[in-house]
């Protein structure tokens, strides 16, 4: 079981639709730790750690499963897992 860290930037219609709460729910469902926050440019930023295959499933869900969001782009930067997080939080 390979653990990884992923830093995501999600662009599109992802603010004002409950997207951060959706991200948190999906992360917790997949046993991932990290955080999510809105950025001033209208995007949503996510950092998460966990099993690589679970992060990949998480990313696919974020791209396609929110009922009101429209994801135009989702950028992913992979890194080694540092075990920095113990929960998945919404930050401001």
- CATH code of the domain covering residue 58: 3.30.70.100
Instruction: Provide the residue-wise pLDDT of the chain in tens; the chain has 92 residues.
Output: 689 999 999 999 999 999 999 999 999 999 999 999 999 999 999 999 999 999 999 999 999 999 999 999 999 999 999 999 999 999 98
Please state whether the predicted TM-score (pTM) of the whole model is above 0.85.
yes
Tell me which residue range forms the domain holding 16: 3-90
C-alpha to C-alpha distance for 73 and 70, rounded to whole angstroms: 9
State residue 2's pLDDT score: 82
**8 and 75 Cβ atoms separated by less than 8 Å:** yes
Q: Which two three-digit tokens encode residue 39?
A: 């950025």
Cβ atoms 4, 80 nearer than 8 A: yes
Sign of CA dihedral 75, 78, 82, 85: positive
Provide the annotated active-site residues: 20, 38
Q: Which residues contact 25 (CB under 8 A, 6 or more apart)?
A: none
Q: Which residues, 6+ apart, have CB-to-CB distance to 33 below 8 Å?
A: 27, 48, 49, 50, 84, 85, 86, 87, 88
Predicted local distance difference test score (pLDDT) of residue 1: 65
Q: What total of structural domains would you count in the chain?
A: 1
């Amino acid at each position: 079981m390979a653990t990884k860290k992923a830093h995501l930037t999600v662009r599109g219609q992802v603010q004002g639709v409950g997207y951060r709460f959706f991200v948190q729910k999906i992360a917790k469902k997949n046993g991932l730790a990290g955080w999510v926050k809105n950025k001033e440019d209208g995007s949503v930023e996510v950092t998460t750690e966990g099993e690589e295959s679970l992060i990949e499933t998480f990313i696919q869900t974020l791209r396609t499963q929110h009922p009101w969001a429209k994801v135009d782009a989702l950028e992913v930067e992979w890194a080694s897992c540092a075990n920095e997080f113990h929960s998945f939080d919404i930050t401001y």
